[in-house]
Structures are given as C-alpha cells and as structure tokens.
C-alpha cells in the first residue's frame, strides 16, 4: 500500500457521488487519495486541519466558450486556450471542453488544430473540444449568428470524424432537423458525444436521433422545443430517455428553479451542470465580441444588444450553490452533477470526477459557492 504523505481533516469529503460526513482524506505517495473514517486516521502524519467545507474532486465542465477575457471563437489558438485554462482552473475546474460557437468552416478547423495541440502539450484542464454548431435551427438560434447556421454536408462530417480520431473527447451539438440519422450514427460510432440542442424539432424527430446514437442534450430547456400537452418537443424527449444525459445552466437566470426541480425529479442523475461560460469568466471585463456582435455583462447576465441571452456569467461552484439554495438539491447530488456526472459522458475520463484518483482537489465552500485548490 502506498505511503500516506498528508492528511486533511476538518471538512466533509465528497467522493464524486456521495458525501462522507466527518471523514478525513489521505494523500498517498503515488498521487492517489483515500477516504478515512476519523478512527482510522494514523498518528504522526503531516495533517492539515480545515475549518469546515467539503473536499471534492475538481469540477468537470463540458461547455466553456471562453474565459480570462477571451473567446475561443475570436482567437482559436494556443494562447487563448491557455488563458481559458488558467481562468477556469482558478475556479476549481479540473477538466473542460473548450467550446466553439457556430462559426465559419475555417474557424472550426483552426479550433480543432489548436485543441489537438493543447492536448499534446498537456495544457492543464483541456480534455477535448465541444463544437456547438453550426448545424443548428435558425428558429432556435439563441445568440448564434443565423448567417452562419447551415445543414451538415459531407465536408463537415469528414472534418468531425477526423477530429474525433485526433482528440480524446469531442462533443458536437446539432439540431436533429439539420443532420441525417446516418450522420448522427457515423459520429457516434467514431466516439463523438452527439448532443441535441438549438433545435425546434418535434418529439419523434428527437427520439429518432437518440435511436441513431445521440446521447446528450445541450443546456436543457434553453434554445429548444419545449414540452407541451400534445407536443413534448426536445425537452420531453430528453426527460423520457434514461440513456440520454442533459446539461443544465444553473444560474437562476436561464432556468427557473421549479423547472430544475421537475427535471431532476424526472431524470435524476442524468442531468449534469455546465457553466456555458464566456470571456467574462475569471475576468472583470464588462463586454466582449461574438461573431462581430457586442455582448454586455450586467447583474449576472450576458446579453446581446437586443436582450438575447448570450452564454452565462457563471462559475461551476456557484451553479452548485444555486442548485442547493434555490432548487432544494442536496449538496451531495449537486456536487455529483459538477464532477462525476459530466465525467461519465466522456470517452476518455482520465480519472476525472473521482476523489481517489490523482488530479485537482478542491476545498469547496457551500455557503459562498467558491473553492480553492489544495492539490
């Protein structure tokens, strides 16, 4: 058994799924961790006594559009990715998917190249890429540029399949009405995490896309066909399928707390948190540009000039706090939705979402929603 080099006490321990009240956490010489009951803590080891809070694995965020004052769309290169990585690691994110919002083909290709290089260079936290568009519905475009939205063509699917072979994890958000079932199947078979979003499709079309291999829904409730009495839409399809996971922006702005509670009652562990963070994350900037349009920051909202929500001014720790404080979600479940929940969707997990494996260790403060890195 590997030697213990340090022990943390005084905080509860979340293992990625469950909360261990009053436990201690031992750091082992090989980098792994072990949860100890109070009576099993050995004497003579270096010990740090914490004043409350929770020890938890680092957060996993599958939708990060920007950070540190930059957007991936504006500069899809190594410098931007490193700034994003630094900004999000400082908020407790252990692994994230830089996310490219709908753009031109050459920008998509540049983003794929930049992320592949960042992974090769082992830039901390970058675990792949999320392409959110451009194969979406104009009717549900949200802040995406309608002029850049288009159906998926053969060149697009070829580029995606090549990217899937180069990247440890690739998520692609599509509207099922703009792609074929064969394209969804080809992506899924290549290991792509196919997610439905920005869609006006009916329930039957969405179910057919899930049958073809789509396994996720992007920011549930937002920019999609809603659930009605005779038309369940994408929301209804997502909640009906136990084999499909869904991201949720829990900032209290994008989704009403009652809707969060209802979705969790219907789907439980199938819902995970995303920040949908923009350039403002880890920065004090008050505006930035998205595809040539100004986005403004005010009172926790990011909006275009016409008031359309454009991503979120949100950190994962605050999303956890919103779930607990506004949606009555137990802390253990909320932390799982920010750690092991999203990690479960990844093709290559790298130990993310588990307290026992080497990686980012956080001391999370439920009262404030903030965290600090411990190891």
Residue 268: the pLDDT is 87
Are 24 and 88 in a shared domain? Answer: no
Task: Tell me the three state secondary structure of residue 309.
Answer: strand
**In-domain check, residue 362:** no
Is residue 358 domain-resident? Answer: no
User: Per residue in 213-230, pLDDT tens?
Assistant: 999 999 999 999 999 999
Rounded-to-integer distance, Cα 172 and Cα 135, Å: 9
Q: pTM of this prediction?
A: 0.97
Residue 203 pLDDT level (bands cut at 50, 70, 90): very high
Residue 191 shares a structural domain with residue 260: yes
- Give the CATH number of the domain where residue 181 resides: 3.20.20.140
Per the residue annotation, which of 276, 284, 313, 328 is the catalytic one?
Answer: 276
State whether residue 139 is helix, strand or coil: helix
> 114 with 200, same domain?
yes
Residue 64: what pLDDT?
A: 98
Mean pLDDT (whole number) for 62-76: 97
* Structural domain includes residue 339: yes
Q: Indicate if 21 and 155 belong to the same structural domain.
A: no
Asked if the model's pLDDT at residue 3 lies above 80, the reply is: yes
Task: Classify residue 373: in a domain, yes or no.
Answer: no
Same domain, 212 and 259: yes
Is 47 found in the same domain as 63? no
> Residues 73-106, buried b or exposed e (16+ Cβ, 10 A)?
bbbbbeebbbbbbebbbbbbbbbbbbbbbbbeee
Shared-domain flag, residues 134 and 199: yes
Please report whether residue 375 resides in a domain: no
Specify whether 276 is catalytic. Answer: yes
Asked, for residue 296, whether it belongs to a domain, the answer is yes
pLDDT at 217: 98
Picking from 174, 177, 247, the residue whose alpha carbon sits closest to that of residue 214 is 174
Q: Are residues 67 and 92 in the same domain?
A: yes
Is 374 a domain residue? no
Residue 216 lies in a domain: yes
pLDDT tens for 158-167 read 999 999 999 9
Mean pLDDT of the chain: 96
Query: Using one digit for the tens of pLDDT, what is the confidence trace for 244-303?
Result: 999 999 999 999 999 999 999 999 889 999 999 999 999 999 999 999 999 999 999 999
Domain identity same for 257 and 125: yes
Task: Report how far residue 198's alpha carbon sits from residue 222's, in angstroms, rounded to the nearest whole number.
Answer: 8
Instruction: Give the mean pLDDT of 86-95.
Output: 96
Predicted pLDDT at 1: 52
Average pLDDT over residues 331-336: 98
Q: Are 323 and 205 members of one domain?
A: yes
Structural domain boundaries enclosing 18: 4-52
The predicted pLDDT at position 375 comes to: 80
Task: Say if residue 88 is in the same domain as residue 233.
Answer: yes
Find the helix or strand (DSSP H, E) in which 332 lies. Answer: helix 331-336
What share of the chain has pLDDT > 70, as a percent? Answer: 100
DSSP 158: H
Percent of the chain with pLDDT over 90: 96
Cα separation, 113 vs 345, in Å, equals 23
CB 129 within 8 A of CB 137: no
Domain count, the chain: 2
State whether 225 and 343 are in the same domain: yes
Confidence of residue 2 (pLDDT cuts 50, 70, 90): confident
Report yes or no: 136 and 168 within 8 Å, Cβ to Cβ.
no
């Amino acid at each position: 058994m590997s030697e213990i080099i340090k022990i943390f006490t005084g905080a509860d321990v979340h293992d990625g799924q469950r909360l261990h009240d009053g436990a201690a956490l031992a750091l082992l010489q090989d980098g792994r961790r072990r949860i100890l009951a109070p009576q099993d803590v050995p004497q003579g080891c270096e010990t740090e006594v914490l004043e409350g809070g929770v020890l938890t694995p680092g957060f996993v965020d599958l939708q990060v559009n920007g950070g540190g004052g930059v957007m991936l769309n504006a500069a899809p290169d190594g410098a931007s990715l490193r700034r994003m990585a630094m900004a999000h690691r400082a908020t407790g994110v252990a692994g994230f998917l830089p996310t490219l919002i709908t753009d031109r083909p050459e920008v998509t290709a540049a983003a794929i190249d930049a992320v592949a290089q960042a992974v090769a260079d082992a830039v901390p936290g970058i675990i792949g890429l999320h392409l959110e568009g451009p194969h979406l519905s104009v009717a549900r475009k949200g802040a995406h540029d309608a002029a850049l939205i288009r159906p998926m063509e053969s060149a697009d699917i070829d580029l995606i399949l090549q990217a899937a072979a180069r990247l440890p994890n690739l998520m692609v958000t599509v509207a099922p009405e703009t792609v074929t079932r064969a394209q969804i199947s080809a992506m899924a078979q290549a290991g792509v995490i196919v997610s439905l979003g920005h869609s006006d499709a009916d329930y039957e079309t969405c179910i057919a896309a899930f049958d073809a291999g789509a396994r996720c829904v992007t920011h549930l409730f937002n920019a999609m066909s809603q659930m009605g009495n005779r038309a369940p839409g994408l929301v209804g399809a997502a909640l009906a399928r136990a084999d499909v996971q869904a991201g949720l922006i829990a900032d209290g702005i994008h989704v009403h707390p009652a809707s969060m509670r209802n979705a969790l009652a219907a789907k439980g562990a199938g819902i995970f948190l995303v920040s949908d963070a923009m350039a403002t994350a880890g920065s004090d900037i008050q505006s930035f540009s998205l595809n040539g349009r100004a986005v403004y920051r005010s009172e926790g909202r990011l909006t275009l000039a016409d008031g359309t929500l454009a991503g979120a001014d949100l950190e994962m720790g605050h999303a956890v706090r919103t779930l607990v404080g506004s949606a009555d979600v137990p802390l253990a479940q909320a932390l799982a939705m920010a750690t092991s929940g999203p990690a479960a969707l990844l093709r290559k997990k790298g130990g993310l979402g588990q307290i026992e494996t080497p990686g980012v260790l956080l001391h999370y403060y439920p009262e404030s929603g903030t965290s600090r890195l411990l190891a």
